[in-house]
Structure 1
Amino acid sequence: MNAYPPVVDADTWLEARLALLAEEKALTAARDALNARRRQLPMVEVTEDYRFQGVDAELGLLEVFEGRRQLIVYHFMFFEARGEGCLGCSSLVDNIGHQAHLHARDTHLVLVSRASQEQLQPFKRRMGWTLPWYSSLGSRFNHDYQVTLDEAVAPVRYNYRDQAELQRLGLDHHLAGEQPGVSVFLRDGTRVYHCYSSYGRGLDLLMGTYNYLDLTPLGRQEGWDGMPDLHGQGMNWTRLHDRYIDPAAPTCCGAAPAAD
């Protein structure tokens, strides 16, 4: 199958581009309206005394804000058995820019994983990351925000779907263990509120690599939605950034995104 778009003259291209531009502008307006509705979501006060282990000390959720008004937590999947982070989560963190821009808007971004600092810090140094990274071991935080799934602790629920619905959709990889997600909190004095959480493909907008690839004719090259799969890897193409040249590097499992 030819993966390339058709070749046309400049006038034909401009006509097609203007038609697409109208759709892009409509999508921008729809996205702005969606963002406004997201900002207007009601909040839930956080009353649980969640504790996190930093590099040198234990902190409460309020202290994780570092005095700022807003906090974004990326729930990072870390696999202690192999001492490495999830490939998709690692790729996402590689795409995070300088925190100064968020700090200018009184907003702080951190990573939280259900793993020990003894394992998180060596991996963080290996990846060259500077983001604050906290351990939630010993806390209900991951379970309460539905990124550690264990029916012995809490009913299984991921991406706002219960166990029965996840099984019906064939999303068995979301039934147990560590999962990715993002949660947003707001601080008002010493009171903290949970404002928003997103999972699954809701995290796509955080992935700069995807957004750049979506501008190209070949897209993400994952073999779905009309994209070619030129490398025969489907969705399982991301690697740790220091492992792309290693053919034996582990792959990240992924399901077709339409139902996720």
Structure 2
Amino acid sequence: MTHTDILLPQIVSRDEWLVERKKHLAHEKELTRQIDALYAERRRLPMVAVDKPYLFSGPEGSASLLDLFGGRRQLVVYHFMFDPHDPPEGRSGAPWDEGCPGCSFVADSIPHLAHLHARETSLVLVSRAPWNKIAPFKARMGWTVPWYSSFDSDFNYDFHVTLDEAKSSLEWNYRSAQELKQAGKIPDEKGELPGLSVFLRNGERVFHTYSTYARGLEVLLGAYHYLDLTPFGRGEGWGGMPDLGGQGQNWLRHHDRYEIGRTPEGCCHARASLA
């Protein structure tokens, strides 16, 4: 799609624009009230004790799930897609040789952690790739957020972000992997997928309070929220948006790859985001 093919908004007078803007403002306010109610409902969800002793590895060696809290009461874990294995024959790029571009988009959106720490909340990334694979990619991206490997534990399987029938991890986004694969929502019934999980600490006890996947992760994407304010939106060719560049959702790249003209490697984040 060229710039001349994009349908632009109607041109009206300032007074006519103001009438339409106030109508839209009423809808925005209603949505805000609905979101406030949804968030209150989320805070009232029950929680489940986490009794399994998970072990992670990071720059300072081994760490437990309790260690990831950093002494704070709450912990947010972003499950970052980064496969520990070499790519299958005929495949390359993410999420085997480097971290997933979609998950990298999430990491680029992380705020200064001081704001979360002030609210008794820690945020970490967790991937199944080993630490010696994570470290150079993290340095390349310039991120400072804590990142740990869960390779030697069942953590990814238990929280349904690594699909593997042998590990009895057969669902993602609260639907079976077989169903999602048949619907074209995920590329394979085995492998890494994105997600987010929240934990609460009460003394030395840890509880799981929330997990979300697919479009539930969009709340983390600050760039999307800016784009959603514009006439072109995300430019992905759905929901009435133009398809800028003709790439649909596959426009996304690592932040150091836009200038070199490289076609993005599609892991599964684009399809998974609409699952």
TM tier relative to shorter chain: over 0.9
1:1-260 map, 5 Å: 1-80=5-84, 81=86, 82-173=96-187, 175-253=189-267, 254-255=270-271, 258=274, 260=275
Hey, what's the Cα distance between the residues in 1 that align with 2:33 and 2:18? Answer: 22
- 8 Å Cα contact 2:195/2:214 also seen in 1: yes
RMSD over aligned CA atoms reads 1.5
Task: Give percent identity, aligned residues only.
Answer: 55
Please give the secondary structure, in 1, of the residue aligned with 2:260: coil
- 8 Å Cα contact 1:3/1:218 also seen in 2: no
CA distance 1:256–1:178, change in 2 (3 Å): closer
Give 1:168 shift.
4.4
Please give the secondary structure, in 2, of the residue aligned with 1:235: helix
Give 1:245 shift.
1.2
CA deviations 1:163-199 (Å, max 9, x no partner) are: 3432443224262200000000000000000000000
Hey, what's the Cα distance between the residues in 1 that align with 2:78 and 2:198? Answer: 9
Hey, what's the Cα distance between the residues in 1 that align with 2:178 and 2:78? Answer: 26
Please give the secondary structure, in 2, of the residue aligned with 1:74: strand
CA distance 1:63–1:124, change in 2 (3 Å): same
- 8 Å Cα contact 2:55/2:62 also seen in 1: yes
CA distance 1:38–1:174, change in 2 (3 Å): farther
Q: Which moved more, 1:223-232 or 1:244-253?
A: 244-253
Match of 2:91?
Answer: none
Task: Point out where structure 2 has 5 or more consecutive residues left out of the alignment.
Answer: 87-95
Q: Which moved more, 1:157-166 or 1:68-77?
A: 157-166
CA deviations 1:33-90 (Å, max 9, x no partner) are: 0000000000000000000001122111011101000000000001443431100000
Letter in 1 for 2:26: A
Task: Point out where structure 1 has 5 or more consecutive residues left out of the alignment.
Answer: none
Hey, what's the Cα distance between the residues in 1 that align with 2:145 and 2:124? Answer: 6
Letter in 2 for 1:251: E
- 8 Å Cα contact 1:237/1:252 also seen in 2: no
Hey, what's the Cα distance between the residues in 2 that align with 1:214 and 1:75? Answer: 25
TM-score (norm 2): 0.90
Q: Which moved more, 1:22-31 or 1:153-162?
A: 153-162
- 8 Å Cα contact 2:128/2:150 also seen in 1: yes
Letter in 2 for 1:92: V
Hey, what's the Cα distance between the residues in 1 that align with 2:99 and 2:192? Answer: 11
The number of aligned residues is 259
Letter in 1 for 2:271: A
Which consecutive segments of 4 or more residues in structure 1 shift more than 4 A?
Answer: none
